[in-house]
Structure 1
Amino acid sequence: MKTLIDHIVDDAIALALVEERDRIYIHNQMMAYIPEEMFFKEADDIGKADSNTLIEYIAEQLAHSGVIEDQVYAKDLAAANMMNILMPKPSDIEERFYANRVSGIRKATDDFYNISVFSNYIQKNRISQNISFSSESKYGELELTINLSKPEKSTEEIRAAQSAATDSDYPQCLLCKENEGYIGHINHPPRANHRIIRLELGGGEWYFQFSPYSYYSEHSIVLSKDHVPMQISTQTFHNLIDFVDQFPHYFIGSNADLPIVGGSMLAHEHYQAGRHVFPVERAESFHVTVKGDVKLELLKWPLSTIRVTGEDREAVIRQATVIMDAWNTYDNPELDILSHTDAQHSTVTPIARKTEAGYVLYLILRNNRTTEERPNGIFHVDPEDFHVKRENIGLIEAMGLAVLPARLKQDAEHLQGFFTTGEMGESAHAGWIESWRSKYGDDHIGEHFEAVFHKELGLKFESILEACSVFKNEADFVQFFEGIDHDQEGIS
Structure 2
Amino acid sequence: MKKLIDQIIDQAIELELVEARDRTYLHNQMMGYIPEKLFFESEEVLKSDSNTLIEKIVERLAESKVIEDKVYVKDLTAANMMNLMIPKPSVIEERFHRLMQEGTVRATDDFYAISLFSNYIQKNRIRQNISFSSNSDKGPLELTINLSKPEKTTEEIREAQNNKKEDDDYPKCLLCKENEGYIGHINHPPRSNHRIVGIEMGGNEWYFQFSPYSYYSEHSIVFSKNHTPMKIGAHTFRNLTDFVDQFPHYFIGSNADLPIVGGSMLSHEHYQAGRHVFPIEKAPSFFEHEVNEVTYELLKWPLSTIRISGRNKEAVIRRSVEMTEAWKQYDNEALGILSHTDAPHNTVTPIVRKMKDKYHIYLILRNNRTTEERPEGLFHVDPEDFHIKRENIGLIEAMGLAVLPARLKQDAEELEASFKNGEKIDTVHDEWVEAWKKKYEANHIKENFEQVFKKELGLKFRKILEACGVFKDEKTFKVFFKEVTGD
| Counterpart residue number, 2:350 | 350
Post-superposition offset of 1:457:
0.3
Post-superposition offset of 1:357:
5.8
Output one character per residue of 1:113-166: Cα deviation in whole Å (capped at 9) or x when no partner: 000000000000000000000000111100000000000000110000000001
Give the SS at the match of 1:195: coil
Contact 2:2 2:39 in 1 (8 A): no
| Counterpart residue number, 2:297 | 297
The letter of the residue matching 2:99 is: N
Contact 1:128 1:149 in 2 (8 A): yes
- The count of corresponding residues between Structure 1 and Structure 2 is 486
Post-superposition offset of 1:56:
0.7
Contact 2:146 2:403 in 1 (8 A): yes
Output one character per residue of 1:365-418: Cα deviation in whole Å (capped at 9) or x when no partner: 000000000000000000011111111000000000000000000000000000
Aligned mates of 1:251, 1:468 — CA distance in 2: 23
User: How has the CA–CA distance of structure 1 residues 315 and 486 changed in structure 2, closer, same or farther, with 3 Å as cutoff?
Assistant: farther
Aligned mates of 1:482, 1:61 — CA distance in 2: 65
Asked whether 1:321 is paired with 2:321, we answer: yes
| Counterpart residue number, 2:469 | 469
Equivalences for 1:387-402 in 2 at 5 Å?
A: 387-402=387-402
Output one character per residue of 1:186-233: Cα deviation in whole Å (capped at 9) or x when no partner: 000000000000010001100000000000000000000000000000
Q: Which runs of 5+ in 2 are unaligned?
A: none
Give the SS at the match of 1:339: coil
The letter of the residue matching 2:115 is: S
Contact 1:217 1:275 in 2 (8 A): yes
| Counterpart residue number, 1:449 | 449
Contact 2:129 2:148 in 1 (8 A): yes
Contact 1:322 1:486 in 2 (8 A): no
Contact 1:309 1:361 in 2 (8 A): yes
Output one character per residue of 1:66-113: Cα deviation in whole Å (capped at 9) or x when no partner: 111110000000000000001100000001001111110000000000
Post-superposition offset of 1:486:
6.8
- Provide the TM-score with structure 2 as the length reference: 0.99
| Counterpart residue number, 1:189 | 189
| Counterpart residue number, 1:336 | 336
The letter of the residue matching 2:480 is: F
| Counterpart residue number, 2:138 | 139
Aligned mates of 1:150, 1:258 — CA distance in 2: 25
- Provide the TM-score with structure 1 as the length reference: 0.98
Give the SS at the match of 2:485: coil
| Counterpart residue number, 1:86 | 85
Output one character per residue of 1:313-351: Cα deviation in whole Å (capped at 9) or x when no partner: 100001001110110000000000000000000000000
The letter of the residue matching 1:49 is: S
Post-superposition offset of 1:485:
3.4
Contact 2:229 2:266 in 1 (8 A): yes
Aligned mates of 1:2, 1:187 — CA distance in 2: 32
The letter of the residue matching 1:485 is: T
Give the SS at the match of 2:271: strand
Aligned mates of 1:424, 1:390 — CA distance in 2: 25
Aligned mates of 2:425, 2:290 — CA distance in 1: 57
Equivalences for 1:20-419 in 2 at 5 Å?
A: 20-45=20-45, 47-166=46-165, 167-356=167-356, 358-419=358-419
Contact 1:309 1:357 in 2 (8 A): no
Output one character per residue of 1:217-250: Cα deviation in whole Å (capped at 9) or x when no partner: 0000000000000000010000000000000000
| Counterpart residue number, 1:490 | none
Contact 1:116 1:210 in 2 (8 A): yes
Post-superposition offset of 1:438:
1.6
Aligned mates of 2:88, 2:450 — CA distance in 1: 47
Q: Which runs of 5+ in 1 are unaligned?
A: 488-492
User: How has the CA–CA distance of structure 1 residues 43 and 102 changed in structure 2, closer, same or farther, with 3 Å as cutoff?
Assistant: farther
Contact 1:3 1:41 in 2 (8 A): no
Contact 1:220 1:273 in 2 (8 A): yes
Contact 2:223 2:271 in 1 (8 A): yes
| Counterpart residue number, 2:9 | 9
Aligned mates of 2:476, 2:226 — CA distance in 1: 40
Give the SS at the match of 1:144: strand
Give the SS at the match of 2:374: coil
What percent of counterpart residues are identical?
A: 69
The letter of the residue matching 2:400 is: G
Give the SS at the match of 1:151: coil
Aligned mates of 1:7, 1:342 — CA distance in 2: 60
4+ long deviations beyond 3 Å: none
